[in-house]
Amino acid sequence: MNKEDKFMAKTIQVRVDDQLKDSADTLFASLGLDTSTAVRMFLVAAMAAGGIPFAVIHTQTNRDAVIREAIARREAGERFYTIEETKAHMRAAIAEGTKNAII
């Protein structure tokens, strides 16, 4: 047994759909990695972080926080624009920017 075999003794098998595997292979290859190396990097990062090395959250949680923030802003007196008002402001800003553009 060589030194590398001593440290690379376990195998992990993961089932994923073909499209995900092909896309991941392409992505990692563009970074100069193979998928096995990328998975090893993930495991090392997880150990260093003491957990998943990125946020794992429910979308619902974020939406609830956004709604709570909007309610608080409204209660503080902030005005919210309708979609039509927002579009009008955007059109005016674009027109103003076009007038002042150096061509």
Q: Are residues 94 and 63 in the same domain?
A: yes
User: SS3 for 12?
Assistant: coil
d(CA 13, CA 36): 10
- pLDDT for position 103: 42
Spell out a b/e string for 6-29, using b for 16 or more CB atoms within 10 Å of the CB, else e: eeeeeeeeeeeeeeeeeeeeeebe
- pLDDT for position 48: 92
Full residue range of the structural domain in which residue 94 is found = 59-100
- Answer yes or no: is 54 within a domain: no
- pLDDT for position 32: 93
Tokens 């429910």 locate to 58
Quick: pLDDT tens for 29-78.
999 999 999 999 999 999 999 999 988 776 666 778 888 888 898 899 88
d(CA 4, CA 26): 26
Q: Are residues 69 and 45 in the same domain?
A: no
Q: Are residues 35 and 15 in the same domain?
A: yes
- Answer yes or no: is 9 within a domain: yes
Q: Are residues 44 and 73 in the same domain?
A: no
Q: Are residues 37 and 10 in the same domain?
A: yes
Quick: pLDDT tens for 72-101.
988 998 877 788 888 888 888 888 776 655
Quick: pLDDT tens for 5-22.
666 678 999 999 999 999
- Answer yes or no: is 92 within a domain: yes
Number of domains in the chain: 2
Q: Are residues 64 and 34 in the same domain?
A: no
- Answer yes or no: is 84 within a domain: yes
Q: Are residues 8 and 29 in the same domain?
A: yes
Instruction: Please report, as a single letter, which amino acid is at residue 48.
Output: A
C-alpha neighbours within 13 Å on the C-beta side of residue 55? 5
